[in-house]
Amino acid sequence: MIELAMKLSSRSLQWRAGGAALLLLVLTAVHHAYGAYAFSTPWRLHIVYIAAPVAAAIAAALYLGSR
């Protein structure tokens, strides 16, 4: 187990963590958008307006961190 942890580079961990965060944001946004549509509750869309810029910031940080 320790050998596996030692083989992972910090860049690999950075991409895995960033990818997981982006996936979670996308799933949350889709969940709230579907809920807003299915149950006629447009106030659920507020999370999409928050998740989109946060996802863009995470993607930009991943890009800049890989340079």
Domain ranges of the chain: 11-65
Strands (E), 1-67: none
Looking at residue 7, its pLDDT comes to: 66
Contact 25, 54 (CB under 8 A): yes
Tokens of 45: 């869309």
- pTM score, whole prediction: 0.78
Tell me, what DSSP letter sits at residue 63? Answer: H
Kindly report the average pLDDT of the chain as a whole number. 90
Q: Where are the alpha helices (DSSP H) in 39-66?
A: 46-65
**Comparison of pLDDT for 30 and 4, the residue scoring more:** 30
Tell me the average pLDDT across 33-62.
96
Tokens of 58: 């995470």
Contact 1, 56 (CB under 8 A): no
